Amino acid sequence: MSVSDFMTRNLIVAQPEMKIFDAVDLMKKNNIHRLPVVKGEQVIGLITEGTIQSAMPSKATSLSVYEVNYLLNKTTVADIMVKKVQTIQPEASLEDGIFKMRQNNIGVLPVIDANEILVGIITNNDIFDAFLKITGYNDGGTRIQLRIPEDHKGILADIAKLLADNDFSILTVVVNRKELETIIELQIESRETHQIEKKLKEAGYDVFEATFISKKV
């Protein structure tokens, strides 16, 4: 899975000469919390709700409302934007994107191609959507969790064959390796939860959870 699989391509951007109030209106209108700042097609900065808030005069200021509004009307995006912007390329793995966001304690990465042209943006919300897709949360069906006490070579192939032999299709597989055991979570395209659980238990698998998940619209 790459960043390009989950990034937002329809971009809302700001220009450096844009006034702060206009940037705020743009974010409110589109229900977003940050804007890449571009010159031509290249990213030169980033403006967020946080940077805008930091630029606002303190409530303790001695300036009048007229003076505050005058200053803000003169302030442009270029005056307050973050100039050192972390970016990522579209072919980078999704895991690399997540790691970079965590390492830099940020919630957004503009995505640029080899020519440094802005082609997308990936945010923490895109990461959440990716997780839901990977785990099959929206697909519905039967979710089965198996407890494997030790590492068995070929275990996934054996499980897949057992399910295929009984005409069940696997939608997703998640493997969670713990210190003393491995948890295998399967999303299966079927409403026959009890039948799936029965077949797996008869084959000797430790099924500790079997749940039918309704398909999300």
The pLDDT tens digits for 128-177 are 999 988 888 888 899 999 998 776 778 899 999 999 999 999 999 988 88
Averaged pLDDT for residues 100-107: 94
Of 132, 158, 178, the last residue of a domain is 132
Q: Which of 132, 150, 171 is the last residue of a domain?
A: 132
For residue 209, the enclosing domain spans 136-213
pLDDT band at 60 (very low <50, low <70, confident <90, very high): very low
Mean pLDDT, rounded, for 50-73: 63
- For the chain, give the percent of residues with pLDDT over 90: 65
Q: At residue 126, does pLDDT exceed 50?
A: yes
Residue pointed to by tokens 């042209």: 117
**For the whole model, what pTM was predicted?**
0.77
Name the domain boundary from 81, 113, 132: 132
Q: Give the max Cα distance, the chain.
A: 78
